[in-house]
Amino acid sequence: MSKNHRGTGIRTLPAHGRATCPICKKDNVKCLYEQEVDGQTVNICKVCKATLKNKARVEAKNAPVAAASETQTESTEA
């Protein structure tokens, strides 16, 4: 079966969604993902979106470990 409607959403965007990514500075990439960066909502590329998501996931994973180590040091000092 043909895929007649693939990409119709970005055809209406200026330059078919292609621009310079404000994070990685790559030129002429599809910047389709809205993300809040430094208090501003900007469109970023797929690679930068994945990078930010992975950083947030690692920080969330390490946050309970850091909190637990802080409570252990406080309890040993008391």
Does pTM top 0.85 for this prediction?
A: no
Distance (Å, whole) CA 13 – CA 23 = 20
Rounded to an integer, the average pLDDT of 14-24 is: 94
pLDDT digits (tens, 9 = 90+) for 21-72: 999 999 999 999 999 988 999 999 999 999 999 999 999 998 877 677 766 6
The DSSP code for 27 is S
Map residue 19 onto helix, strand or coil: strand
Distance (Å, whole) CA 45 – CA 23 = 9
Cβ-based neighbours of 22, under 8 Å, separated by 6 or more: 37, 42, 44
pLDDT, residue 1, reads 80
